[in-house]
Amino acid sequence: MKPIKTYDVVVIGSGLGGLVTALLLAQEGKSVCVLEKNNQYGGNLQTFVRDKTIFDTGVHYIGGLDKNENLGRYFSYLNILNDLELTPLNKNQFDCISFGSEKILYPQAQGYANFIDQLVVFFPEEKEALQKYIDTIQWYCQQFPLYNLQQGFGYNEEVMQQSVEKVMNSITTNKKLQAVLLGNGFLSALNVTETPFYVHALTVNSYIQSAWRCVKGGSQITKAFIKQLRHFNADLFKHQKVEKLHFNGSTLESCETHNTIYKANQFVSDIDVQQLFSMFSTENKQKPYVKRIQQLQNTLSVFSVHLVLKPKTIDYFNHNIYHFEEVNDAFSCRNNWQASRPKMMVITTNPHTKNDVFAQSISLMTYMDYEKVQQWQDTFNTVNYESERGNDYQFFKDEIVDNMLTILTKYFPDIRSQIQSVHTSSPLSYRDYIGSTDGSMYGFEKSAQQPLKTLISPKTKIDNLFLTGQNIRLHGILGVTITGFLTVGEMLGKEYFFDKVFKKVGYE
Ligand SMILES: Cc1cc2nc3c(=O)[nH]c(=O)nc-3n(C[C@H](O)[C@H](O)[C@H](O)COP(=O)(O)OP(=O)(O)OC[C@H]3O[C@@H](n4cnc5c(N)ncnc54)[C@H](O)[C@@H]3O)c2cc1C
């Protein structure tokens, strides 16, 4: 018989959503425990080290983190903001968008007026369109009260039905400008016909407010959470993969790992929803909402190349570059490959101090469909369970790396001689570490055609089981944090909880 531990609340999965929910509940005096299958807490906040160089897996920059902005205020409530070591990205170009062999780097700048000022230099005849774009972004953001730390929980379906394509066409017919404005669409796996404009607006608006990198990577966010969780006497356990759920009718009584049974009055799941459902009892699997959610489509996965650079060879660059082979490639994450060469690529680096003079690393990312690696789907490789995926897999990756380095020479002509070592991750890495079925980057794809169908309630049809994390409302550090607050609001009573939160950190 396995030992039994009992809590008020058990949180399954220590991704950002799990950490936010657990801390908020612990702050409310609940006895809380967090269960994580991996060696490292944090899910996509995890970092890894190669040749003494830190790399991020799923957080490269964060928006809205000034203490007076939305994420800054939510993080202040969680009491983690002061523990973060952040460095602001370049005010006049936190992101640069570039096409083919064209030399121009089109800037996206911080601050609404500055955003327009920096771009109008390249599009002098489009000043009105740029102003309209900024006004539209802000208008869409105002439609979501929690984004602005205000009470209000309903959704305006009409607002959510507007696709990126439709809204952008109403702003400008200039396709090049559209491509520049949507150039960081990787942040939401953009597909202009499908993605609702609100997803784009909520995401990019936060970076236009302020854009930050985490010094030494995103895992410091996890550390700040763990410090607070311990302060509130919460328990965290790693190497605890939840393998079974035990139900009594539509009540979840306990969950089970390889060596322990955890009982609780309430459970929160931060794990891939499909994985959660696969552990449901036969009776609970039949519920219509389970079937509905199982039909949803996931966002694409990602292929990343991580370069350790030879010392002092490349200056630290305080912006991200979004490269597209052609202007049209900025409009959809689909059809991203021409043989083994991607049509778009994100280029970023990781600061190791607040005043880096040289870059220690470069990371390259591009969309990859799980199908591309499906032939190796029976392999599994993490630090806990190391195993080779085979020579053909290595060959497959090497070809892609070579093509991505060729693209990189546009920005760093001598890059091939400046690299110390090369490391990669594929959809299989994300699948194995995060536990999703296909390594999806951001969870379920949001759809402008059926916006409410792709919004999942934190409440389930199991009386005491709640959901959180990027699948539920919105992905990204900001989206997942707000979703965590919403989950706790559902558990404790939204009026009571948000009243308390906004009294403390809301806008006057
Ligand atoms: C390549 C990439 C780049 C990104 N870049 C950015 C960025 O620059 N800025 C930004 O804001 N956002 C970015 N994101 C998005 C952001 O990282 C995620 O939206 C967010 O971290 C997801 O948090 P989550 O709570 O949904 O949990 P996840 O990160 O999905 O974590 C889930 C956790 O549950 C654990 N788990 C799974 N199954 C079990 C089980 N059975 N038992 C116990 N534990 C389990 C997993 O191991 C994992 O730790 C990026 C994402 C990716 C993939």
Query: How far apart (Å, rounded) are the C-alpha atoms in residues 230 and 347?
Result: 36
Pocket test for ligand 1, best of 220, 243, 271 (most atoms within 8 A of CB): 271
User: Would the CA dihedral through 331, 335, 338, 344 be positive or negative?
Assistant: positive
Residue with CA at minimum distance from ligand 1 atom 22: 470
Q: Cα–Cα distance between 345 and 190 in angstroms, integer?
A: 14
Question: Which residue minimizes the CA distance to atom 52 of ligand 1?
Answer: 58
Give the residue whose CA is nearest to atom 47 of ligand 1.
434
Query: From atom 50 of ligand 1, which residue's Cα is the shortest distance away?
Result: 58
Q: What is the total residue count of the chain?
A: 508
Q: Given the CA of residue 479, which atom of ligand 1 is nearest to it?
A: 19
Kindly report, residue by residue over 316-333, the tens digit of the pLDDT.
Answer: 999 999 999 999 999 999
Work out the average pLDDT over 56-60.
Answer: 94
Mean pLDDT for the stretch of residues 443-471: 94
Give the Cα separation of 299 and 190 in Å (integer).
9
DSSP string, 53-121: EEEESS-S-EES-STTSHHHHHHHHTT-GGG--EEEPPTT-SEEEEETT----EEE-SSHHHHHHHHHT
Ligand 1 close to Cβ of residue 271 (< 6 A): yes
Sign of the torsion formed by the C-alpha atoms of 409, 411, 417 and 421: negative
φ and ψ of 49, to 5 deg:
-120, 130
The Å distance, Cα 45 to ligand 1 centre, comes to 7
Confidence of residue 367 (pLDDT cuts 50, 70, 90): very high
pLDDT band at 487 (very low <50, low <70, confident <90, very high): very high
Residue holding tokens 């009294």? 503
Closest residue (by CA) to atom 46 of ligand 1?
434
Give the whole-angstrom CA distance, residue 478 versus residue 469.
Answer: 11
∠ CA 436-441-446, nearest 5°, is 100
Q: 40 C-alpha to center of ligand 1: Å? A: 12
**Candidate of 57, 59, 382 to mutate for ligand 1, largest count of ligand atoms within 8 Å of Cβ:** 59
Closest residue CA from atom 35 of ligand 1: 13
Helix segments in 172-196, DSSP class H? 175-181
Both tokens of 3, joined, read 């030992």
pLDDT in tens, 130-182: 999 999 999 999 999 999 999 888 888 999 999 999 999 999 999 999 999 99
Structure confidence at residue 219 as a pLDDT band (50, 70, 90): very high
- The mean pLDDT value for 68-89 works out to 97
503 — pLDDT class (breaks 50, 70, 90) = very high
Residue with tokens 């190497």, as numbered in its chain: 239
Indicate whether 384 pLDDT > 80.
Answer: no
The mean per-residue pLDDT over the stretch 15-26 comes to 98
Q: Which atom of ligand 1 is nearest to the CA of 35?
A: 43
pLDDT, tens digit (0-9, with 9 covering 90-100), for 275-318: 999 999 999 999 999 999 999 999 999 999 999 999 999 999 99
Helix (H, G, I), strand (E, B) or coil at 4: strand
In this predicted structure, what is the pLDDT of residue 276? 96
486 lines ligand 1 (CB under 6 A): no
Taking CA atoms only, the protein residue closest to ligand 1 atom 6 is 59
Would you state the pLDDT for residue 454? 87
Atom of ligand 1 nearest to the CA of 18: 25
| pLDDT tops 90 at residue 65 | yes
Average pLDDT over the chain reads: 96
Q: What pLDDT, on the 0 to 100 scale, is given for residue 234?
A: 98
Give backbone dihedrals phi and psi of 250, rounded to 5 degrees, phi first.
Answer: -105, 35
9: left (phi over 0), alpha (psi -120 to 50) or beta: beta
3-state SS, 353-375, equals: CCCCCECCEEEEEEEECHHHHHH
| Ligand 1 contacts CB of residue 435 (under 6 A) | yes
pLDDT surpasses 80 at 386: no
Backbone angles phi, psi at 180, to 5 degrees: -65, -45
Atom 41 of ligand 1, nearest CA residue: 242
In DSSP terms, 15 is beta-bridged to 42
Are 226 and 40 in contact, with CB atoms under 8 Å apart?
Answer: no
Task: Say yes or no: CB of residue 37 within 6 Å of ligand 1.
Answer: yes
- Quick check: 249 and 461 in contact, CB under 8 A? no
pTM: 0.97
